[in-house]
Amino acid sequence: MKEIIIPVEFANVVDFYGVNDANLDLIRKKFPGLKIVARGNEIKIIGDELQVAVLMEKLNRMVAHFQDRGSITTGDVEFLLNGEG
């Protein structure tokens, strides 16, 4: 079991998490074996070490996308979760 905390350093985390946490919900559905908790400017991930590593790589892509474009849609999240981009 691995636990990792990722700081989300954006002025408005709702833009990253999505309205009503829609982006986080997509991530949770793609990784049902992981516990994913967002609290303020942190995302905590708990679970299998391999799955945590895979999610970390995808989250890094999402953060880069958000930083480049200033937004991320649920469509962008689905695209990035499916290994595209």
Mean pLDDT confidence for 56-76: 93
Residue type, 34: L
Cα–Cα distance, 3 to 81 (Å, whole number): 20
Alpha helical stretches, state H, the chain: 13-17, 22-30, 49-69, 74-81
In this prediction, residue 84 carries a pLDDT of 55
Over residues 4-42, the pLDDT tens digits come to 998 888 888 889 999 999 999 999 999 999 999 999 889
Q: What is the mean pLDDT of the chain?
A: 92
5, β-bridge pairs: 44
| φ and ψ at residue 43, rounded to 5 degrees | -120, 125
pLDDT at 58 exceeding the cut of 80: yes
- pTM for the model stands at 0.89
